[in-house]
């Protein structure tokens, strides 16, 4: 989820860009299903450039009054240009749909690879955390807080480079999703308690993801939302004995999962942390798929 600083101009995302239509694309296989539509593999006919088209039903958007929010979020994502942030190349609409033209992430969701391998090696986990930290530092510089970082929203390109996707586009839908589907796991204590929060919520989420990459489950997972909520606000953190995880990794996680937002390790300090320095591949490429330890 994206939040922008106040005082941004009204959205006009397609300003100066060519107007696309569906006829400009050959549509391929479906890549996934979103809340309000589907994502397809596609090829732009003239350039033969491969993209992903996210097709969103206008009717659904109107039902939830998210139209304006969508345009605003497209504008934010269009302004971001970073190797670890999924690019949005443009958008267009027809009578029934909004269509977003997105960078194609050939290896799909990191979530799927994580579920397949159960947990990641320290090298892969550190490489993903480094990529995420760099992307978040870039976003924060631009006053963008994602606020909805979780494995489902992290995609991989052909080489295994991590891309933050799904800039949400709606606080409303996020709130709804959390109350309905119980994805509290990635939220900082101040968010689950509905208190004021800032960019440090993303630092907390990095700690959650680092834990999940290494152990295969998020640290405060329980069978019920109420109990997860309690564990988050208590920061009820423990490290299982298996899989075996290095003391340096645990040190980084403990310094991110800190209740006092001001005391969480800064993004700069994450980049310098011994576990990252020792394990992460600075190129951001996780080759050879996601392996088990
Ligand atoms: P939102 O939260 O914005 O409603 P969503 O989570 O419902 O979005 P997305 O995450 O954008 O929908 O897309 C649904 C699925 O489609 C993803 O989980 C992923 O598997 C696939 N997908 C989306 N974008 C791409 C892409 N650019 N390249 C490859 N696969 C993609
Ligand atoms: Mg998603």
- Reading the chain (293 residues) residue by residue, the pLDDT tens digits are 333 333 333 344 455 556 899 999 999 999 998 778 899 999 999 999 999 999 999 888 887 777 777 887 788 888 899 999 999 999 999 999 999 999 999 999 999 989 999 999 999 999 999 999 999 999 888 888 777 788 888 999 999 999 998 775 433 344 444 443 347 999 999 988 888 788 898 899 999 999 999 999 999 999 999 999 999 999 999 999 999 999 999 999 999 999 999 999 999 999 999 999 999 999 999 875 444 33
Are residues 75 and 183 located together in one domain of the fold? no
Using alpha carbons, list the distances in angstroms from residue 192 to 167, 199, 203, 259: 20, 15, 15, 12
In a domain, 252, yes or no: yes
Shared-domain flag, residues 42 and 95: yes
Which residue, 208, 190, 210, 186, is CA-closest to 259? Answer: 190
Where in 111-245 does DSSP place strands (E)? 154-156, 162-164
Q: Residue of the nearest CA to atom 2 in ligand 1?
A: 168
Residue nearest to atom 13 of ligand 1 (CA): 34
Domain that holds residue 261: 108-279
**Among 51, 70, 103, residue at a domain's last position:** 103
Of 283, 282, 287, 278, nearest to 122 by C-alpha is 278
Helices 200-215 + 247-256 axis angle, to 10 = 150
275 CA to centre of ligand 1 in angstroms: 31
Report d(CA 140, CA 255) in Å as an integer.
19
148 is catalytic: yes
Count of the separate structural domains present in the chain: 2
Same domain for 91 and 212?
no
Answer with the one of 80, 103, 126 that is the final residue of a domain.
Answer: 103
Does pTM surpass 0.85?
yes
Question: Is 135 touching ligand 1 by the criterion CB < 6 Å?
Answer: no
- Check whether residue 136 and residue 274 sit in a common domain: yes
Assess whether the C-beta atom of 161 lies below 6 angstroms from ligand 1. Answer: no
Answer whether 248's CB lies under 8 Å from 255's CB. Answer: no
Retrieve residue 83's tokens.
């190797």
């Amino acid at each position: 989820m994206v939040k922008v600083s106040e005082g941004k101009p009204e959205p006009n995302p397609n300003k100066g860009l060519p107007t696309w239509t569906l006829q400009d694309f050959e549509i391929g296989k479906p890549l996934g299903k979103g809340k309000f539509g589907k994502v397809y593999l596609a090829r732009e006919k003239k350039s033969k450039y491969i993209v992903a088209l996210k097709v969103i039903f206008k009717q659904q958007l109107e039902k939830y009054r998210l139209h304006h929010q969508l345009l605003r979020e497209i504008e934010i994502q269009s302004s971001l240009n970073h190797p670890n942030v999924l690019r949005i190349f443009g958008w267009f609409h027809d009578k029934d749909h909004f269509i977003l033209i997105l960078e194609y992430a050939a290896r799909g969701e990191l979530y799927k690879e994580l579920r397949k391998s159960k947990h990641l090696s320290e090298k892969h986990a550190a490489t993903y955390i480094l990529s995420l930290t760099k992307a978040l530092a870039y976003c924060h510089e631009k006053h963008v807080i994602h606020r909805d970082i979780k494995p489902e929203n992290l995609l991989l390109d052909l080489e295994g480079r991590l891309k933050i996707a799904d800039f949400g586009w709606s606080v409303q839908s996020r709130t709804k999703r959390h109350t309905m589907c119980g994805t509290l796991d990635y939220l900082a204590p101040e968010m689950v308690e509905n208190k004021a929060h800032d960019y440090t919520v993303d630092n907390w989420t990095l700690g959650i993801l680092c834990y999940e990459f290494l152990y295969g489950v998020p640290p405060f997972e329980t069978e019920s939302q109420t109990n997860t909520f309690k564990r988050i606000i208590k920061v009820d953190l423990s490290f299982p004995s298996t899989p075996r995880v290095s003391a340096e990794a645990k040190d980084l996680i403990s310094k991110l999962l800190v209740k006092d937002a001001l005391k969480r390790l800064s993004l700069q300090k994450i980049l310098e942390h011994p576990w990252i320095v020792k394990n992460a591949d600075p190129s951001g490429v996780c080759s050879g798929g996601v392996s088990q330890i």
